[in-house]
Structure 1
Amino acid sequence: MAGKIRVLIIDDSASVRQALTHVLEQDAEIQVMGAASDPYVAARKIQEELPDVITLDVEMPRMDGITFLRKIMSQRPIPIVMCSSLTEEGSATLMQALEAGAVDVILKPKIGAADYLAEQGMRIREAVRGAAAARLGAARRLPDPATTPAKLTADAVLPPPSGRAMAKTTEMVACVGASTGGTEALRVLLEQLPANAPGIVIVQHMPEKFTAAFAKRLNSLCEVEVKEAENGDPVLRGHVLIAPGDRHMLLERQGARYIVSVRTGPLVSRHRPSVDVLFRSAARSAGANAMGVIMTGMGDDGARGMAEMRAAGAYTVAQDEATSVVFGMPKEAIAKGGVEKIVPLDQIAREILGADRRR
């Protein structure tokens, strides 16, 4: 058992605890060390053995998940993946969880949760593996990538760029990709941008129905306008479009302006939305008019697409290791030669504005 990611499941539903255990233990790198029906039972288990990762339900008797999350983070931080219902109210609650320190989220329906969790097995295992690699004051090991399932590339959605970089125009589009730890990193980035910032399109790995609440929350905090992208939305100065969960988002040129195409399709780099799909579409449609930004996240989604963007003439930036919750995605993009500059999180906004001014 040595070396495995030890997970404690906290959920008041016995069927959910059973389903999560079955889903997680399909990964040879993961061991469910125990399950608890509420935070009080969980606290006793944690005193006996410290888990690497906790999956934590929001709505439970005696103590809700958000309260327990805050107690854990203030006393003995452990990477936590929150689990809650697929409702607008649930999504808003999960925003509070992420702000309180949760690493990632898993959503479940109120009816048929066990079947849904089984269908979402790959996403759940990825969330736990990402949480195990998260830096909560100290670096944790990255799980062995050899145990992850085979991945489709962006070829599954659109063909590679032609290699003919488009001449620069007066408008720049910033394309941003993030995953584990990205919700709070994106808040830091977007809060630094003025109302006249260049148009921005973002892929953040998130479950379906959660991105709308995420965009709404960011919109309330930022000078730029933030919304969940809809098919055909124009990319405008001072506006930020976030790819909806479970849909790919592509950048397309329409005459003298850019729009986004939101569509379904296969998982790419094990994700939908995929950063690779967004970045490849930017390389094809925008070339040197685009800027690519790769931020904190588990895995390698975006690495190939960023290399394609750079080859097409785009300016590319990666978040540095010290400020990344998980340095997987930036590290892979750097290794593939797609990154021109590596900067801390608090300097990414400056890079975007600087690239815009240089035009």
Structure 2
Amino acid sequence: MSRKIRVIVVDDSALVRSLLSEIINRQRDMECIGTANDPLVAREMIREMNPDVITLDVEMPRMDGIDFLGRLMRLRPMPVVMISTLTERGAEVTMKALELGAIDFVAKPRVGLASGLNDLASQIVDKIRVAAVAQVRRAAPREAAASAPHASGAGAAAPAAPTTLLGRLSTEKLICIGASTGGTEAIKEVLVHMPADSPGIVITQHMPPGFTTSFAARLNGLCQITVKEAVNGERILPGHAYIAPGGTQFHVARSGANYVAVVDDGPPVNRHKPSVEVLFKSCAAVVGRNAFGIMLTGMGNDGAAAMREMKDAGSYNYVQDEATCIVFGMPREAIAHGASDEVLPLGQIAPALVARLRGATDRLHHRI
């Protein structure tokens, strides 16, 4: 960007406001143009100063961050990076913030705040940079949101009724999904439309430790399939989706006729842990032509080269299109690597996949 990214910091802690301002002002491409200790003050500052990005604390006086975010995204949608506390409640609230339209979040430590935030400085400013160029979506009106809990802002319909999809073929196939910025809502949009007997689904979403438990629980309450964090050594079953636990590497292995989850403390790949590259490479090697790859919204290139390996091994791959991505980084790189078979709007990926799976079932039944 030719001009500096203008940021307003909203946090009830004077220490956090000072630390974040200092971190932001150290960057050559951004500046903190103001700070606010509560949302009502922030509202006036946003009107007067028109920032490019705001950072927003979750828990604040007079109006909590979630209420403020909901109103902001309905009335004046703009890029927001949430500053969350690394607690179980903090994780649940963060998932709600992402649902309301926040671009991303940073998990601040509960102890050693000053040193902890400075250790996170590069992550904080990277997320502000991504937010500044992200596509922001307007939150649905409260009444619409209340009457359509599964809607995701991408025009999602209610999930399809449970159907018999694959029968015994479902144990052979595996669906492999990778995502980063904006991915929590994109993954939801795919999973809520998958029938109860879909093939096993393995997912890597860039997320730190402590947040994937809430993410999986939230999805499990919305979907026909069972959604859970992956556990090392467990069998990957049809009708289940397995999410890489934050701060670990997740890949797929084979044990006889079964697919098995492998969760370990491997090193970061492409700076990520979990990494889409790690999961997709294993799917290329272990699942081959029985795999379906899906690359969703996210910054960077994690997983693009491995998705091409999946395609070369015979998988069929879907990539989210630019118009429906929050950030068209990882999908763009997957396309550039020649990894995609179809580039589709988010809302069309699950229906296209289900139709293709049903076609495979029909062919199998015809042969039988």
- Same-fold call, TM > 0.5? yes
TM category, shorter: 0.7 to 0.9
Q: Normalising by structure 2, what TM-score?
A: 0.84
Give the distance between the partners of 1:285 and 1:27, measured in 2 at CA.
44
Matches within 5 A, 1:159-178: 171-178=172-179
Q: 1:179 touches 1:296 (CA, 8 Å); kept in 2?
A: yes
User: Could you say which residue in structure 2 is the equivalent of 1:239?
Assistant: 240
- The residue number in structure 1 matching 2:48 is 48
Cα distance in 1 between the residues matched to 2:234 and 2:52:
41
Secondary structure at 1:331 match in 2: helix
The equivalences for 1:170-189 within 5 A come to: 171-189=172-190
When residues 206 and 24 of structure 1 are mapped into structure 2, their CA distance, relative to the original with a 3 A threshold, is farther
Q: Which residue number corresponds to residue 263 of structure 1?
A: 264
Using the TM superposition, give the Cα deviation of residue 355 of structure 1 relative to its aligned residue in structure 2, in angstroms: 4.0
Q: Measure the CA separation in 2 of the matches of 1:103 and 1:37.
A: 21
How far apart, in 2, do the equivalents of 1:349 and 1:324 lie?
Answer: 15
User: Unaligned stretches of 5+ in structure 2?
Assistant: 139-168, 362-368
Work out the number of aligned pairs and report it: 330
CA displacement, residues 112-141 of structure 1 (integer Å, 9 cap, x when unaligned) = 223222222333233222212221259xxx
Q: Which runs of 5+ in 1 are unaligned?
A: 139-167
Q: Which amino acid letter does the alignment assign opposite residue 226 of structure 1?
A: V
> Is the alpha carbon distance of 1:35 and 1:266 closer, same or farther for their aligned partners in structure 2, counting shifts above 3 Å?
farther
Between 1:100-109 and 1:238-247, the stretch displaced more is 100-109
Name which of structure 1's ranges 168-177 and 252-261 shifts more when overlaid on structure 2: 168-177
Higher relative contact order, structure no. (Cα contacts within 8 Å, ≥ 6 residues apart) = 1
Following superposition, the deviation at residue 237 of structure 1 comes to 0.4
CA contact (8 A) 1:6 1:31 kept: yes
Change (3 A) 1:19 1:95: same
CA shift at 1:314, angstroms? 1.2
Corresponding position of 1:128: 128
- CA 1:169–1:241 in structure 2 vs 1: closer, same or farther (change >3 Å)? closer
Q: 260-269 or 188-197, which moves further after superposition?
A: 260-269
| SS across alignment from 1:241 | strand
Q: Which amino acid aligns with 2:36?
A: A
2:278 aligned partner, one-letter code: V
Partner of residue 364, structure 2: none
Distance 1:77-1:281 versus aligned 2 partners, 3 A rule: same
Say what the alpha-carbon RMSD is for the aligned residues: 2.0
Question: 2:110 maps to what in 1?
Answer: 110
Secondary structure of the residue that 1:270 maps to in structure 2?
Answer: coil
Which letter does structure 2 place at the counterpart of 1:79?
P
Deviation at residue 25 of structure 1 after TM alignment: 4.3
Give me the whole-angstrom Cα distance separating, in 2, the residues matched to 1:24 and 1:248. Answer: 31
* Mean Cα deviation higher: 217-226 or 264-273: 264-273
Q: Give the Cα–Cα distance (whole angstroms) in 1 for the partners of residues 274 and 115 of structure 2.
A: 22
The Cα offsets for residues 234-262 of structure 1, whole Å up to 9 and x where unpaired, read as: 21100000111111111111221111111
Distance of 2:260 and 2:26 partners within structure 1:
40
Aligned to 1:20: 20
Deviation at residue 337 of structure 1 after TM alignment: 0.9
- Residue 163 of structure 2 is matched in structure 1 by none
- Alignment-derived partner of residue 153 in structure 2: none
Is the partner of 2:279 in helix, strand or coil? helix
Could you tell me which amino acid in structure 2 is paired with residue 54 of structure 1?
I
Pairing of 1:188-227 with structure 2 (within 5 A): 188-227=189-228
Which consecutive segments of 4 or more residues in structure 1 shift more than 4 A? Answer: none
Deviation at 1:284, TM superposition (A): 1.8
CA distance in 2, matches of 1:83, 1:175: 30
Q: Distance in 2 between matches of 1:47 and 1:242?
A: 40
Paired with 2:16 and 2:318, the residues of 1 have a C-alpha distance of 41
Q: Deviations over 1:14-46 (max 9, x none)?
A: 222233234444543332222222112222321
What is the Cα deviation at residue 353 of structure 1?
2.3
Q: Take 1:295 and 1:29, find their aligned partners in 2: how far apart are those partners?
A: 28
- The corresponding residue for 2:339 is 338
Residues 172 and 356 in structure 1, CA contact (< 8 A), matched pair in contact too: no
Query: Do structure 1's residue 97 and structure 2's residue 71 form an aligned pair?
Result: no
CA distance in 1, matches of 2:272, 2:4: 24
Determine whether 1:308 maps to 2:306: no
